[in-house]
Structure 1
Amino acid sequence: MGPVLWSASGGLAALAVVAGFGERRRRRRRDPDSVGWVDWPTVQMLALIALAVTIGLAVKG
């Protein structure tokens, strides 16, 4: 089960980075009235929480 948790951790870390870039892109948009449908800060926060949980479980064994 360890390699699966480490792989999930890698995927969640990548998701958190993508969410960070998405939020940066949203903040720098030219038209402030054009809204997106993804709440990037929430996605990033949930990905980081899940990342901490999966790393904790992988280290615990």
Structure 2
Amino acid sequence: MATWLWSASGGLAALAVVAGLGERRRRRRHDPDSVGWVDWPTVQMLSLIALAVTLGLAFKV
């Protein structure tokens, strides 16, 4: 079970990085009226919360 938790933690960390890059790209766009369909800060925050939970469980096991 610990291997699954560590793998999930790695995936969630990667998702948080991708969400951060997506938010950076959104803020630097040339056309401010162009809207996206992904709320990157929410995705990043939820992935960081889930990352903290899975890391806590992985260290406990």
- Give the TM-score of the pair, scaled to structure 2: 0.99
- Taking the aligned partners of 1:58 and 1:12, their CA distance within structure 2 comes to 13
- Pairs within 5 Å for 1:9-48: 9-48=9-48
Give distance in 1, aligned partners of 2:55 and 2:21: 23
The CA RMSD measured in Å over matched residues stands at: 0.2
Corresponding residue for residue 52 of structure 2:
52
Q: Distance in 2 between matches of 1:17 and 1:26?
A: 14
In structure 2, list runs of 5 or more residues that go unmatched.
Answer: none
Cα deviation for residue 30 of structure 1 reads 0.3
Letter in 1 for 2:39: D
Equivalent pairs counted in the alignment come to: 61
> Any gaps of 5 or more consecutive residues in structure 1?
none
Q: Deviations over 1:17-60 (max 9, x none)?
A: 00000000000000000000000000000000000000000000
Q: What fraction of aligned residue pairs are identical, expressed as a percent?
A: 85
**Distance in 1, Cα, partners of 2:57 & 2:3:** 11
TM-score normalised by L of structure 1: 0.99
- Runs of 4+ in structure 1 off by over 3 angstroms are none
